[in-house]
Amino acid sequence: MDRFWLALGACNALVAVAAGAFGAHGLRARVSEDLLVVFETGARYQMYHALGLLALGLFVRGGAPGLATAAGWAMFGGIVVFSGSLYVLALSGIRGFGAVTPIGGVALLVGWGLFAAAAITSR
């Protein structure tokens, strides 16, 4: 399972870098400044949590799979919902997508909390 989290973290980091570049170079002339900031926030948080998934993969390698696996899924779900909703909001201009962003934020918090619990309870 450690390779899975490492690969998932690396893939999310790749997408975050691509999204950041797209936002900086491809969107600047196409969307309003406030929507560009929204898009950049999605890319930034995706990168933060990609690094979290990489750390989780290294942690699981040490032999603490239970809570760590739940942490990884919560973190990945949070990336999809939080960053994904911000990307869609920025690209579509439909503000309603912002309503689901906090759900992703809660999933990210749960992921970090589970990661902390896994670290505390591991041997």
Per-residue pLDDT tens digits for 71-81: 999 999 999 99
Integer Cα distance of 63 and 1 in angstroms:
10
**Helix or strand run (H / E) with residue 96:** none
pLDDT tens track for 12-56: 999 999 999 999 999 988 999 999 999 999 999 999 999 999 999
% of the chain beyond a pLDDT of 90: 89
Against a cut of 0.75, is the pTM above it? yes
- The predicted pLDDT at position 94 comes to 94
Structural domains in the chain (count): 1
The answer to whether 94 and 103 are in contact (CB under 8 A) is no
Q: How many angstroms separate the most distant Cα atoms in the chain?
A: 52
Cβ neighbourhood burial of 48 (10 Å; 0-12, 13-18, 19+): middle
Determine the structural domain holding residue 13 and report its residue range: 2-121
